[in-house]
Structure 1
Amino acid sequence: MNEAEGLRQRRPLRPQVITEDNAAQESKGGSTYSNKVFRMTFMTLAVSLIIPLFGAIVFLDSPIDPQPISFKEPPPLSGTLEPNFKLRQAERLFENQLVGPESIANIGDVLFTGTADGKILKIEDGQIQTIARLGHGPCGGDEPMCGRPLGIRVGPKNSLFVADAYYGIFEIFPSSGEVQRLVSSKTPIEGKNLSFVNDLTLTRDGRKIYFTDSSSKWHRKDYCLLIMEATDDGRLLEYDTVTKEVKVLMGGLRFPNGVQLSPAEDFVLVAETTMARIRRYYVSGLMKGGEDMFVENMPGFPDNIRLSSSGGYWVAMSAIRASPGFSMVDFLSDKPWIKRIIFKLLSQETVMKFVPKNSLVVELSETGSYRRSFHDPNGMVATYISEAHEHNGHLYLGSFRSPFICRLNLKDV
């Protein structure tokens, strides 16, 4: 061994120096491995949970059996339909003193309405008085037990005609509180139940009453299911107060809702809520027994229809089809499988929370064109509106669930 080789063998070992670069490189390698392990573990857990979940969803019962329907593109919200804030100029009356004043009628300056607890109320000089109850008490918040008065009209002898969703058609005498049932929902009409009596309109002499039954399957408390299933078992019916006969005028309607007899009493308008349109049925004249479309592809889903002082019609809508924008009902219309999944997992109340509270009232001409529109984007003042009843220069706005009546001075808008 020479000297150089000996020196090399005797040279001391160099200590290993840990630098930041070395540490980072080692950390990176360890981190990558840990991330891979985490991702694999997460994916395994996710798959093990999702597969049984989807399996459970498949075998869960859906309360609805949706029918696919199709809509045209909603009309653009421009021109006469341009969004505004005019409904926000309305004042709330009797807040938290009544709930769900769906429809409103007046005899002189005295107002009448029906509420969610089955009561018929008289409103005079700022005071509220119960004049009748249509359901069975004590109802304790059970809607089918309470009854649910919806459409309300004044007859030729200043009696009230009321459509109750669960019990049928009634005549009520405000002075005495006497209640007479004219049509019982327990009596099938042409083999089908009256499960959701909704609105009514009558001739000036009071002989003929035209009313809607929104479904022979669904009750009012399930109106969300009725809309989403797009059930086509709704009807327009006629009751003759002299002969006591009821007959079907139109069938196959998807959620027929508000009705209004024309000023000349030659046709009846019917709001077909699910389809965002208004149908017309001729009850007299050369076209008697015929039907056609009065307004189609509306900017929202129509509820009650009432006469305007200009000879046209007020139509209330609690949900719009924004254009530009997004309408959940439009999007889901041709996707029954998504609707089934939604209602397998969510309740009606939960689904309703996803529906924007955009209130809209339109005035139609006698031919169905749009004269003007009043909006409340996001429903800041007027919410869940179901009717616009004109009286003495004001619109009184009914609601199917709000705890107040709104009043809009037409001079202000």
Structure 2
Amino acid sequence: MVVPRQRPPRLIRPVREPATAPPPLDGVWAPTDVRLDRAEVLPLPPGARGPEDVLVDPDGRVVSGDEDGRLWWWPADAPAGTPPRLLAETGGRPLGIELDPTDGTLVVCDAYRGLLRVTPDGAIRELTGAAAPVHLADNSAVARDGTIYFTDSSDRWPLSHWKHDLLEHRPNGRVLAYHPGSGRTEVVAAGLYFPNGIALTPDESALMLVETSTHRLVRVGLPDGVVTVLADLPAYPDNVAAVGDGTYWIALPSPRLAVVEKLLPHPRLRQLVAMLPDVARPQPQRYGLVALVDGAGTVLRTLHGPTGAYPMVTGVRQHGDQLWLGSLTGTGIARVDLS
């Protein structure tokens, strides 16, 4: 089964914004720890690519997806180069993967199917569907009572045209909550700029959230949905994963691009750029980067891969003294020793 892809709008609707400038990678962001360039890679099968997120399940399996709608798993102790085994096929495009603490199943954000529940044996059940109010389910966090908070990154652009949403630079995204008891989906916070990675605080009183297009780390209060900006990041953020001790890993696929930020005051020019072939538009920088932050947004640690040996890190997950990485464009997941 292949799920039909949404048809994107014909033109972006950019708004004029003040130009910004990327800060340098110095201070706590300086590339003093470059271990991401030495990451061990566990490959997807030949021809597969795009393991956007990564999760270690209770059975010790490392789970990720690919752009063809398949979910794969590897043993967490597998040596580098080990091929995966097939877990399930969604027919869509799996992005964020989380564990439901109430029953041990996986909650998968599928860009074209909405929220999915996947059992350990690979059975799939659709929770929300891709119909309104869900358009681009991206990343989720599951509360102890089973409530699933997840990002709906854009109500205009499908995943295939995510760069158009960033060029448009409008607050097209939301945070939604799915309640499994009633099957109801409600809006927690709206007016967000491509909300992406999301994680619950230990006391579940708030969500840690990143906005990709405004490169911000924010805190979303629960249940009021009040958004507080915590940090302006020097790179575009993607998925966020809670460690469990009040700290969070953020995957940052690329340092910010000066040319993109200089385009912000020029809506018409951005509209023209959006009409160019993708290869002619500004491209993410090939640079590996993840950061560990606390609940106030203070950066505690950064890991770098300046050569881009493992490119476009979009997923990050700590399991013991290992850090697992996913990539929107890579051909496998990666593992890094933290000790």
TM-score (norm 2): 0.89
Shift of 1:71: 5.5
Aligned to 1:293: 229
Match of 1:202 in 2: 142
CA deviations over 1:122-156 (Å, ceiling 9, x no partner): 22354522221111xxxxxxxxxxx1000101112
Contact 1:320–1:327 (CA under 8 A) maintained in structure 2: no
Give, in whole Å, the separation in 1 of the partners of 2:180 and 2:93. Answer: 22
Residues 215 and 231 in structure 1, CA contact (< 8 A), matched pair in contact too: no
Match of 2:119?
Answer: 173
8 A contact 1:303–1:317 mirrored in 2:
yes
Task: Give the CA deviation at 1:389.
Answer: 0.7
The match for 1:121 is 72
- Tell me, what secondary structure is at the counterpart of 1:303? coil
2:97–2:139 contact (8 Å) kept in structure 1: yes
The equivalent of 1:343 in structure 2 is 274
Choose from 362, 373, 384 the match for 2:312: 384
| Aligned residues between the structures | 322
In structure 2, the partner of 1:90 is 39
Q: Whole-Å Cα distance in 2 between the matches of residues 290 and 343 of structure 1?
A: 32
8 A Cα contact 1:66 1:231, kept in partner:
yes
Flag as ranges the 4+ runs of structure 1 deviating above 3 A: 70-76, 95-98
> Matches of 2:65 and 2:251 in 1, distance apart?
17
**Structure 2 residue aligned with 1:130:** 86
8 Å Cα contact 1:239-1:247 kept in structure 2: yes
Contact 1:258 1:303 in 2 (8 A): yes
TM-score if structure 1 supplies the norm length? 0.74
SS at match of 1:258: strand
User: Aligned runs of 1:261-410 on 2, under 5 Å?
Assistant: 261-284=200-223, 288-295=224-231, 297-308=232-243, 311-321=246-256, 327-344=258-275, 346-352=276-282, 354-379=283-308, 381-410=309-338
Distance 1:87 1:230, change over 3 A: same
Question: Counterparts of 1:274 and 1:239 in 2: how far apart (Å)?
Answer: 25
Unaligned runs of 5+ in 2: 1-8
1:196-235 mapped onto 2 (5 Å cutoff): 196-206=136-146, 208-235=147-174
The answer to whether the 8 A contact 1:71-1:275 is kept is no
Larger-gyration structure (1/2): 1
The Cα of 1:383 is off from its aligned counterpart by 0.2
8 Å CA contact 1:64, 1:340 repeated in 2? yes
Q: Tell me the alpha carbon deviations over residues 84-125 of structure 1, each in whole angstroms, 9 at most, x when there is no partner.
A: 423112122226544111111112421111111101112235
Q: Distance in 2 between matches of 1:299 and 1:368?
A: 13
Q: Which has more strand, going by share of residues? A: 2
Looking at structure 2, the residues matched to 70 and 197 of structure 1 have their Cα atoms a distance apart, in angstroms, of 29
Cα deviation, residue 242, structure 1: 0.7
Greater shift in the superposed pair: 70-79 or 81-90? 70-79
Larger fraction in helix = 1
